[in-house]
Amino acid sequence: MTWIIDNLGLILTLTATHLQQSLIALVLGVVVSVPLGWIAWRYRLVRGPLIVLTGLLYTIPSLALLMLMPALFGYQATQPSNLVAALTIYNIAILVRSVADGLDSVDADVRRAATAMGYGSTRRFWTVDLPLAGPVILAGVRVAAVSTIALATVGTLIGVTNLGYLFTNGLDRRLIEEVFAGVVATVLLALIVDGILVLLGRLLMPWQRATKTASRVRRPAVVAGSAA
Amino acid sequence: MNLFADALRWLLDPAQWTGTYALSTLLGQHLLYTAVSVLIAAVVAVPAGWLIGHTGRGREIAVAISGAARAIPSFGLLILLVLLFGVLQVPAAALVTFVLLAIPSLLAGAYTGIEAIEPRVIDAARAMGMTPWQVFWKVEFRLGLPLLIGGLRAATLQVIATVTIAAWVNLGGLGFPIIQGIQLNRFDQVLAGALLVAVLALIADLLFALAQRAAVPAGVRAAGGRARDEPRTRGALRAART
Euclidean distance between CA atoms B179 and B192, whole angstroms:
12
pLDDT at B1 over 70: no
Average of pLDDT values for A141-155? 93
| B204, closest residue in chain A (CA to CA) | A59
Mutation choice for B interface testing from A11, A63, A186 by most B CBs within 10 A: A63
Residue pair B99/B46 in contact (Cβ under 8 Å)? The answer is no
Average pLDDT, chain B: 86
pLDDT at A228 over 80: no
What is the distance in angstroms between the CA of the first residue and the CA of the last residue of chain A? 25
Cα-only R_g, chain B: 21
pLDDT at B228 over 80: no
Average of pLDDT values for B29-45? 95
Mention every residue, 6+ apart, whose C-beta is less than 8 A from residue B4.
Answer: A71, B191
- pLDDT of A184 reads 94
CB-CB neighbours of B18 under 10 Å: 11
Question: Chain B closest CA to A170's CA: distance in Å?
Answer: 8
Q: Give the tens place of pLDDT for each residue, B58-111.
A: 888 888 888 888 889 999 999 999 999 988 889 999 999 999 999 999 998 998
Residues of B in contact with A52 (CB under 8 A): none
- pLDDT of B45 reads 93
pLDDT at A200 over 60: yes
Q: Give the tens place of pLDDT for each residue, B179-211.
A: 998 888 888 888 999 999 999 999 999 999 999
Q: Give the tens place of pLDDT for each residue, B42-67.
A: 999 999 999 988 888 888 888 888 88
Contact across the interface for B240 and A182, Cβ inside 8 Å:
no
pLDDT at A220 over 50: no
Average pLDDT, chain A: 87
For residue B59, the one-letter residue type is: R
Average of pLDDT values for A79-90? 93
Q: Which residue did the predictor score with more confidence, B203 or B238?
A: B203
CA dihedral (B240, A67, A10, A2) positive or negative: positive
Contact across the interface for A143 and B70, Cβ inside 8 Å:
yes
Average of pLDDT values for B166-171? 90
Average of pLDDT values for A196-217? 75
Report how far apart, in Å, the C-alpha atoms of A160 and of each of A76, A82, A113 are. 12, 9, 51
Average of pLDDT values for A101-116? 90
Euclidean distance between CA atoms B68 and A90, whole angstroms:
19
Residue pair A156/A167 in contact (Cβ under 8 Å)? The answer is yes
pLDDT at A207 over 70: yes
CA atoms within 13 A on the CB side of A225: 25
Cα-only R_g, chain A: 20
Per cent of chain A over pLDDT 90 is 56
Alpha helices in B56-174, H assignment, sequence order: 59-71, 74-85, 90-115, 119-127, 132-134, 141-165
Report how far apart, in Å, the C-alpha atoms of B118 and of each of B131, B133, B143, B238 are. 18, 18, 10, 22
Residues of A in contact with B240 (CB under 8 A): 147, 150-151, 225-228
Per cent of chain A over pLDDT 70 is 91
Question: Which among A90, A159, A183 is the nearest to B76, CB-wise?
Answer: A183
- pLDDT of A225 reads 36
Q: What is the largest CA-CA distance in chain A?
A: 68
Between A and B, how many residue pairs show a Cβ–Cβ distance under 8 A?
Answer: 225
Residues of A in contact with B4 (CB under 8 A): 71
- pLDDT of B238 reads 56
- pLDDT of B159 reads 94
Average of pLDDT values for A64-83? 88
Residues of A in contact with B231 (CB under 8 A): 101, 104, 218, 221
Residue in B17, B13, B33 with CA at minimum distance from that of residue B25:
B17
Residue in B212, B65, B214 with CA at minimum distance from that of residue B146:
B212
- pLDDT of A210 reads 64
Mutation choice for A interface testing from B30, B70, B162 by most A CBs within 10 A: B70
- pLDDT of A159 reads 87
Per cent of chain B over pLDDT 70 is 91
3-state secondary structure of A103: helix
Question: Which among A62, A71, A104 is the nearest to B242, CB-wise?
Answer: A62
pLDDT at B224 over 90: no
- Confirm whether the ipTM is greater than 0.90: no
Euclidean distance between CA atoms A153 and A157, whole angstroms:
8
Question: Which among A71, A157, A186 is the nearest to B168, CB-wise?
Answer: A157
Contact across the interface for B83 and A223, Cβ inside 8 Å:
no
Question: Chain A closest CA to B129's CA: distance in Å?
Answer: 31
Contact across the interface for A183 and B84, Cβ inside 8 Å:
no
Q: Give the tens place of pLDDT for each residue, A125-135.
A: 999 999 999 99
pTM, to two decimals: 0.86
- pLDDT of B10 reads 84
Length of chain B, in residues: 242
pLDDT at B133 over 80: yes
Contact across the interface for A167 and B178, Cβ inside 8 Å:
no
Residue pair A148/A25 in contact (Cβ under 8 Å)? The answer is yes
- pLDDT of B132 reads 87
3-state secondary structure of B56: coil
Contact across the interface for A183 and B80, Cβ inside 8 Å:
yes
Euclidean distance between CA atoms A155 and A79, whole angstroms:
9
- pLDDT of A211 reads 59
Average of pLDDT values for A64-72? 88
